[in-house]
Amino acid sequence: MKLITDSTADLPSELVEKYGIEIVPLKIHLGEETYRDYFDINLDEFYNLLRTTDLFPTTTQPSPQDFVETYRKLSLEDDCLISIHISSKLSGTYQSAMVAAQQCPEVKIHLIDSQQASLALGMTVIAAAKAIEEKKEVDEVLSEIRRITSQIKTYFSVDSLEYLRRGGRIGRAQAFVGAMLKIKPLLAIQGGEIVPVEKLRGQQRLIRRMVQLVQDDATNIGALRVGLIHADNEELLSILSQQLEGNLHENLELEYTSRIGGIIASHVGPGAIGVSYYPVV
């Protein structure tokens, strides 16, 4: 089995290399320049551009042909491909992959809409990679993917809702626009869409609330596998990490910490932080 995902999974490069995961990049457009996410510009360069330009970046999904080339290349190495992607309600990437799969009838492709993005997508891919490493059958791997996509939760916050609004991904969080002065919006991804959770005054209350949400689920469900992510905001993420570990050291298994890549950062802006988690079985 071979695993394919898109660059919105925001996977650390060492995990991509360890598990041999194929990444199909989306594209970032800033002014007259176009970059393939993770391939043509590193994150330090991108965040510097994001903070110093007056322009708002736009993004585009991979073309069906990008996926066709990937699927046919990998089919020479393995006769079973698992392709897991960002929520179809947030991007046209899954649709491109679906069109490509129809153009490759000779290749066995299991195509999955994760209903998530970024960290949660990445954690789903890594869970699948571990299942493959454990020599599980394809049905078992797909079952584990379905379990995680149905159970994983994501909470995040942004410094400004303007990036989400301009990028057209704001969804029901539009209700928070205009109320941002000293207010930190707590958002979630539910049903494949961004939804508002609540408004909190100040970073300390935001962190406490995020920890409380995870803690409540740990109490009700049991041990959780947790991932953390930030958009060039290591300081705030460190506070969140320390408080999670301090409150949940017995019920928390930290999967990995990552940095939000160029595509997702184009829509959430610098300063965002997030947590994703699912039950350990």
Confidence at residue 248, expressed as pLDDT on a 0 to 100 scale: 72
Confidence at residue 130, expressed as pLDDT on a 0 to 100 scale: 97
Confidence at residue 178, expressed as pLDDT on a 0 to 100 scale: 46
pLDDT in tens, 171-204: 544 444 444 556 788 999 999 999 989 989 888 9
**Residue 41 within a domain:** no
**Residue 52 within a domain:** no
Domain that holds residue 271: 153-279
Helix segments in 117-261, DSSP class H: 118-133, 138-151, 162-167, 203-221, 234-248
Instruction: Specify whether 252 is located in the same domain as 189.
Output: yes
| Three-state secondary-structure class, residue 61 | coil
Helix (H) or strand (E) holding 50: helix 43-52
Instruction: Specify whether 118 is located in the same domain as 184.
Output: no
pLDDT surpasses 90 at 168 = no
247 vs 83, higher pLDDT: 83
Confidence at residue 181, expressed as pLDDT on a 0 to 100 scale: 53
Confidence at residue 165, expressed as pLDDT on a 0 to 100 scale: 66
Q: Looking at the chain, which runs of residues are DSSP E strands?
A: 2-6, 22-24, 27-30, 33-36, 58-60, 81-85, 109-113, 153-157, 183-190, 193-201, 224-230, 252-259, 273-279
Instruction: Please give the Cα distance from 169 to 258 (Å, whole number).
Output: 22
Number of structural domains (the chain) is 2
Task: Kindly report the pTM of this predicted structure.
Answer: 0.92
pLDDT in tens, 24-78: 999 999 989 999 999 999 999 999 998 888 888 999 999 999 999 999 999 999 9
Confidence at residue 245, expressed as pLDDT on a 0 to 100 scale: 86
Instruction: Please give the Cα distance from 238 to 166 (Å, whole number).
Output: 29
Confidence at residue 192, expressed as pLDDT on a 0 to 100 scale: 95
pLDDT surpasses 80 at 18 = yes
159 vs 17, higher pLDDT: 17
**Residue 49 within a domain:** no
Confidence at residue 166, expressed as pLDDT on a 0 to 100 scale: 66
Confidence at residue 170, expressed as pLDDT on a 0 to 100 scale: 47
pLDDT in tens, 221-280: 999 999 999 999 999 999 999 999 887 767 889 999 999 999 999 988 899 999 999 999
| Stretch among 78-92, 103-117, 247-261 having the lowest mean pLDDT | 247-261
Residue ending a domain, among 124, 151, 178, is 151
CATH number at residue 129: 3.40.50.10170
Q: Measuring CA to CA, which residue among 31, 40, 30, 50 is closest to residue 7?
A: 40
Instruction: Please give the Cα distance from 105 to 207 (Å, whole number).
Output: 48
Confidence at residue 175, expressed as pLDDT on a 0 to 100 scale: 44
**Residue 179 within a domain:** yes
Q: What residues are paired with 189 via a beta bridge?
A: 194
**Residue 51 within a domain:** no
